[in-house]
Structure 1
Amino acid sequence: MSGGGSLAKHLDDFYEIINVPVLVGYGLTETSPVSNARTHSHNLRGSSGQPIPHTEIKIVDLDTGEAVSRGKRGVVLIRGPQVMQGYYKKPEATAKAIDPEGWFNSGDLGWITPMNDLVITGRAKDTIVLNNGENIEPQPIEDACVRSPYIDQMMLVGQDQKALGALIVPNLDALQTWGKNQQLNLTFPSEDASRETIINSDLYGKPVQDLFKQELKREVKNRPGYRADDQIKVFELILEPFSSENGMMTQTLKIKRPIVTERYQGMINGMFES
């Protein structure tokens, strides 16, 4: 059983290939906590399953709040007996989260399959809007890119920019192995090295930079539903991993995007100015 955070597509694929059944559940603390679940008799890979008994799921347009047709992406609303009555002594927050008809706004983005399975695609507040007006959901692209053996972690950036960029935590061990296979004598700085030292290291040499460009291009283009705006045009390599210990991830290992953005704002700005 998988829950508490999204199951990466490549892991879902892997377990199905080796014939290990994985059941995925979906919900929030406010829904006590499950609204949807995959079962042994109906286990659709890539989905969070059908609503549990007495539970309704509705998808609405992010901007208008109007219900959309099945198969269209939007914000996931939940209604059922497990939905909370409200936030304790916070009537304004409650009114914002639950409408008069009892629909709870999950803040998640998703769509519903013809068989009534819910597919979660990201968080509404995480959506990156490029300057051409295109909305990009970062999580699926990030999940695709970390399939590369050379990328440990990644966070997309690009709000109000022409194209996407990325902050990448590289896998130095994998890079060393690659370098040896390429007969390159690569040396990499330590995690606590200065930014100047990192930029002047082999991480920013042409062979390694070209490798990352190739990896990003391949993984993004191989992702189902690929669009031209999904391409990552610029990136920076950082050596400190995202973790709950340094405040850049939650306890459920979700990247705290506002915290990471604030910490690396100068680097992000420079990425798009170059």
Structure 2
Amino acid sequence: MPRFAANLSLLYNEHEFLDRFAAAAADGFDAVEFLFPYEHPPEAIAERLRAHGQKLVLLNAPPGDWDAAERGLACLPGREDEFRASVDTAIRYATALGSPRIHVMSGVLPPGAERADLAPLWLTNLRWACEQAAAAGLRLCIEPLNHRDMPGYFLHRHQQALALIHAVGASNLGLQMDWYHYQISEGDLAMKLRRVIADGVLEHIQLAGVPDRHEPDEGELRVDYLLSLLDELGYAGHVGCEYRPRAGTSAGLGWLDAWR
């Protein structure tokens, strides 16, 4: 039976962030994930996790200036010091909160830049980040994002992600596979799942309905089939519920009843 984690950046937005842990626990979530917790001291978040008996399974490293449309720093020339500082911050939070893994965002291509030209910098930055994470006993993951939601994002294809993971060559770097992004970008999710689980590179999974990123009980994505496939393939990790509820979060959790 798949294990689910509530993404507290997208779910329970009817509550303030630090109150979302209690709301998720009331709905039966004993695991959570979130994007950027850096407005809150790690001690305050750790207290919420302890109070509700929850495990943190994933957080993102700081992405740069989100309001200025920055979506990570790993591929950006001249931002190496900021990238390293962002990884240091993420490691500090992950260590304090007991998260085993960190998602490192690649970044949006600068105007006129080509992916091939930025790949060496990306590899250098990620190799350094993997070394720092390994020293702290942590894992890193990278995630292809679709260009409808993230125009110009450096990492946007499955094979590109696999090639980069193998090029980095770090045992603590894996693939974050968000079915929403994958379905929009290229599809063929079942075969990709079979291959990455067999190859041992799958680090984390997230889901949402396609095309509107609401609950996964409508739209073009057969989430019930994919969740059953996870059981068949022996996936032991969590599935992050990273979607935007159509109405209140709790009211929209009926799709999850069959999987609990």
Answer 1 or 2: higher relative contact order, Cα 8 Å, separation at least 6. Answer: 2
Larger helix share, 1 or 2? 2
| Structure of larger gyration radius | 1
What is the TM-score when the length of structure 2 is the normalising length? 0.28
